[in-house]
Structure formats: C-alpha cells, structure tokens
Amino acid sequence: MEAKPYSIRSPKRGWSWETPPDPIPEEQIAETQEKDVVVIGGGISGLAASARLLQKGLSVVTLDKCSWAGGHGWQIAALDSPLMRARGKKIDKYEFVRRWLEVSGNQPNEDMLWLFVNNSPKVIEWLLSMFDEEVENQIYTGCYHGPVFEEYQGSLHFLKTPESRFKQKGGGPLLIEVFERDIARRGGLLLRSTKVHYLEKDETGRVTGCIVSGEDGVYLRWKGTRAVVLATGDIGGDEE
C-alpha cells in the first residue's frame, strides 16, 4: 500500500491558504451590518469569547459555518478551583510549570503557559457563575500514581444535575449549551450555517470585518467596530 503524502501541496509552490481569495464584487454584497465585536467560530472558544464580551457590555455577533456546535472533550484542567480548595487539593504552580517544561523539552511558549497557570482559577469561577443549579462539577480522580511521575488531580468534570433542562450530559457539549443560553439571555446574535469567505482590513492593515454568506447564498459584510476575534478551531480535517 502506497504511503499517503503528508500534504497535497509543496511548501515551495506555496500553500493554497497563502493566496487571498478574489474579493466579492461590491454590487454582490447585499448589506453591511455592525457590532462592537465579530467573533468567527461558534465552538467552545468562540462562544466563551462571545459570552464574556457580552457580559462586558459589548454588542457581539458570532458566526459559524456549521449548522451545529461541536463541543469536544470532557475534562477541564485548572490549578485551582473552589472544589479543589474545599477538598484540600493544592498544586504548586512553580513546580507545575517546571515539570511541564521538563517533560516538553522546553518547547512550550512559557508566556502562554503562565497565562493558563495564573488565570485558570478565575476561568473556573467564571464558568460556575453561569451554571445556576443545573450543572455540578467533580474532580477527576482516575490519575496515574507510579514511580516515574504522579498525575495532578486538577481535572474537573462538569455534569448536568438531575433537574437540569440542558440536553447534554456533560463536558464540552454541555458547556456549548451553557454558553449559548448565556449569549441568548444577553441579546447576543449567533448565526450558524454562515460561511466566512475572507477578512477585510482598513488602510492601516487592521482587520475590520469579514464577508460572509448563509444558506441562501447572499453575501453580507459584518464589521467589528471594536475588534474581530478568530476562534475557528483546529485544522484536523484539512490535509494541507
């Protein structure tokens, strides 16, 4: 069986995503709409960003090409959380970072690692503030304990309670529902089945918005007067 090539295009010839698409003729763009922030991507990252921006009082539209939300994963890691404190589980963040860098061959971006380390407690508390009484959290205890290393008990499960009105049982899919509910409560606009064709910039090079189309094929321009957030997920389904 012939080995499948890693990529369908040689870097020497250029990647397809390096070539900007042809602009949509202005006369084909039916309408221009504005929000303070345009969030591109309606998965966990995009919905989390949209929910937080709305809580800060900004107007937000969230655009996603899929008709459904794909929330993957089950556990969320944190170095600290209210439940961990209640159970007496404390992780030394300096030792944690040292071990992370050691096992990763000093390859991680340490600035980003410290962002996670220092902010994970606040993120968990923020999530808990949106759960009401319909979601509970648990600490994952199936950790490895052995002579080489010992896993931290810092992974949290979020599960719906028996009286919850959410459809999903837990994990990423449940967080999607939590974010969508919060966005709707705050008047956010979530547009699925909406493909973003390309970003637009002003004369200074700042990204100002994007051109999109929905299931009807009509082109629209969305402008973010304050910012445009890219939260478009991984590229696991694209060979190139």
Locus of tokens 């929000």: 35
27, with CB counted inside 10 A (0-12, 13-18, 19+), is exposed
Give the chain's radius of gyration (CA, Å). 21
Q: How many Cα neighbours within 13 Å face the side chain of 84?
A: 22
Quote the CA–CA distance of 108 and 138 in Å, as a whole number: 28
**Picking from 13-22, 48-57, 101-110, 231-240, which range would have the lowest pLDDT averaged per residue?**
231-240
Sign of CA dihedral 98, 99, 100, 102: positive
- Given a cut of 90, whether residue 208 has pLDDT beyond it is yes
What is the phi/psi pair of residue 126, to 5°?
-65, -45
pLDDT digits (tens, 9 = 90+) for 73-87: 788 888 888 888 888
First to last CA, the chain: 21
pLDDT of 99:
86
pLDDT digits (tens, 9 = 90+) for 101-134: 988 888 888 999 999 999 988 988 888 888 877 8
pTM of this structure: 0.83
Distances in Å between the Cα of 97 and the Cα atoms of 77, 91, 118, 187, 213 are 14, 10, 11, 39, 44
Sign of CA dihedral 41, 45, 50, 51: positive
- Given a cut of 90, whether residue 155 has pLDDT beyond it is no
Strands (E), the chain: 29-40, 60-63, 75-77, 135-139, 155-160, 189-191, 195-201, 207-213, 219-230
Quote the CA–CA distance of 230 and 181 in Å, as a whole number: 21
Helices (H) and strands (E) in the chain, counts: 5, 9
Query: How does the average pLDDT of the chain come out, rounded?
Result: 86
